[in-house]
Amino acid sequence: MSVSKPPDEVGSVTLLLYSGLPNPFWSLSRREREELEDLMADLPRSTKSAPEPGLGYGGFEITLTTPRGPLHVRVYKGIVEKYGPRHPRTRLRDTAGVETWLQHAARRHSLLPES
């Protein structure tokens, strides 16, 4: 499990899990990034924000390297929120199972226990 600052060559995913401790993360492979981008490609817009997490699981924070600078994506409880210094803030409904895909990926990277 990695707990220091992730490299951002392709992108990284941080599992928002701990309060006061470093959160685990993994670096995305090119294949994982392509799968994520495909899942997020046609999500419908949402007017809702994700709820504020309590203690424990708080979703995922994805950082993708783009020609326009870093793109941050927060995925939690049915909302995918994209934002960055040169990217407009966009809220989308997770109708494609992005959060579920990330949970399975976290298990493959041994960051979540098998359910």
SS3 of the chain? CECCCCCCCCEEEEECCCCCCCCCEEECCHHHHHHHHHHHCCCCECCCCCCCCCCCCCCEEEEECCCCCCEEEEEECCEEEEEECCEEEEEEECCCCHHHHHHHHHHHCCCCCCC
Of the pLDDT bands very low, low, confident and very high (cuts 50, 70, 90), residue 5 is very low
- Domain edges within the chain: 11-108
What is the predicted pLDDT for the residue at 50?
87
Residue 6 CB neighbours (<10 A):
17
What is the predicted pLDDT for the residue at 115?
67
Residues 6+ apart with CB under 8 A from 46: 79, 91, 92, 93
What is the predicted pLDDT for the residue at 46?
96
Q: Report whether pLDDT(3) > 60.
A: no
Q: Report whether pLDDT(10) > 60.
A: yes
Q: For 35-61, write each residue's pLDDT tens digit.
A: 999 999 999 999 998 888 878 899 999
Selected residue with higher pLDDT from 88 and 32: 32
Q: Report the predicted TM-score, pTM, of the whole model to 2 decimal places.
A: 0.87
Q: For 62-82, write each residue's pLDDT tens digit.
A: 999 988 889 999 999 999 999
CA 67: distance to chain centroid? 19
